[in-house]
Amino acid sequence: MATSQIFLLFFLLCMSSLHGIATSIENCPVQYCGLGGDGNGGGGGSSVPVKFPFQIINNLESLNPRCRYPRFELLCSGNKTILVLPRSGLFTVRSIDYNLQTLDINDPLNCLPKRFLDNFSLEDSPFEQKIYGNFTFLNCSSSSSSNHVPEHHRTVACLSSENYTVLAVPSRFYNETKLPMLPVPSSCEVIRADVMVPVSGGYWNGLEDDIRLSWSDPHCAPCEYRGEVCRFTNDDTSLVVGCSNSGKESVKYDAIIIVIGFGTPGALFIVALGCYLCGKVWTHDPQRHRRRQTTTELSTSTVVASLDKPTIESYPKTIVGVSGRQPKPNDNTCPICLCRYKPKQTLRTIPKCNHYFHAYCIDKWLRMNASCPVCRKRLRFKSPFV
């Protein structure tokens, strides 16, 4: 083979491995819940398009760490797109407005008022809701109030039953002297005064509609306005985002410029040889490429660090009782796979925060992330010397 042919070969190999580099910071795919629930469902009609900075993380194996912005992880449960709020648990995502950087969420069981009685809070999440109203919740025996709802009160259907009616009223009608002060209706007792309900738009929106949350960071709206794609700008672990108009094409173009810019054949040869050696590793097996990339990130950054096997194994396990009895009575669903715990299944607890998961699910998670998937507490390696 003539030198020039070898050279051309190296050059082509080089381009293919540069392509490999480019794909690692290529635009993240739009994901949907539904059709298998692994986040790759083909659009599923009504399901919410999930784009960067959000990422569906059900399928841990196909996670691309460079598509994943911390605390914007979503889960799929059938058709439903699920957001986990660290303090308040699971919510269904009804829509996401990428231009306005807002998302509408609701209760998976369609009873938001119950979630407010459980002290809804956005603490530790990247989302905001600035306007809250205080509501008083009442429990009224049905016989006396018989379908008559007092002025300014509204029925909370999902908390009521045939034998009693739960009413909600803005607390100020009971407390503020400048309003027509209302008496607590007879035959009703106060469940709680001053329940904080997020309200945006109308005063009753929070109780009867979705909750609208907003986020300010990462600021991807400019990309949306320009019809471009928001993504991480660097192929490392920094959280800097930017816009890209055609994704990998522009990156590849840059790579060509760099190679041509070298000019002298000698320099080109060195680049080509280097690329060829990388290319041998990278282009051979895309799975391996991704793994390599992950490992590099894991070893160079504490942000994405994972836990080792002995540390994971040191976390306590429990077996669900034959009767299905849970270690925590109110906590019967694995936050990772969103399946109910079944008798005889093995659960694992993260001691630091006391959150439970299927051992199978959390072990897989911790091998890629050193944090609790629910509250995101950082976890550490257990020192072999202690």
Least distance to ligand NAG, CB of residue 35, Å: 9
Residue 98's nearest CA partner among 228, 249, 246 is: 228
**Binding to ligand NAG, residues 202-221 (CB under 6 A):** none
Instruction: Find the binder of ligand NAG among 109, 179, 190, 319 (CB under 6 A).
Output: 190
Q: Which of 3, 163, 287, 330 binds ligand NAG (CB under 6 A)?
A: 163
Q: Does 78 help bind ligand NAG (rule: CB under 6 A)?
A: yes
Omega before residue 218 within 30° of 0, cis: yes
Q: Compute the least distance from the CB of residue 149 to ligand NAG, in Å.
A: 16
Using rule CB under 6 A, residue 191 touches ligand NAG: yes
Task: Examine residue 193 and tell whether it contacts ligand NAG (CB under 6 A).
Answer: yes
Q: Which stretch binds ligand NAG (CB under 6 A): 184-192, 200-208, 302-310, 363-371?
A: 184-192
Q: Which is nearer to ligand NAG, 27 or 141 (CB)?
A: 141
Residue 110 or 295: the one with the smaller Cβ distance to ligand NAG is 110
| CB 345 to ligand NAG: min, Å | 22
34 binds ligand NAG (CB under 6 A): yes
323 makes contact with ligand NAG (CB under 6 A): no
Contact flag: residue 161 with ligand NAG (CB under 6 A): yes
Q: Binding to ligand NAG by residue 227, rule CB under 6 A?
A: no
* From 45, 227, 263, 384, residue interacting with ligand NAG (rule: CB under 6 A): 45
String of contacts with ligand NAG for each residue 116-135, x by CB under 6 A: --xx--------------x-
Q: Return the range that interacts with ligand NAG (CB under 6 A); candidates 136-144, 237-245, 288-296, 311-319.
A: 136-144
- Applying CB under 6 A, the span of 94-102, 166-174, 238-246, 370-378 interacting with ligand NAG comes to 166-174
Task: Report in angstroms how near the CB of residue 78 gets to ligand NAG at its nearest.
Answer: 3
- Residue from 139, 205, 318, 332 touching ligand NAG (CB under 6 A): that is 139
Q: How far is CA 204 from CA 154, 155, 201, 210, in A?
A: 9, 11, 8, 10
State CA 331 to chain mean position distance: 20
User: Which residues make up the interface to ligand NAG (CB under 6 A)?
Assistant: 34, 45-46, 78-79, 118-119, 134, 136, 139, 141, 159, 161-164, 166, 171, 174-175, 184, 190-191, 193-194
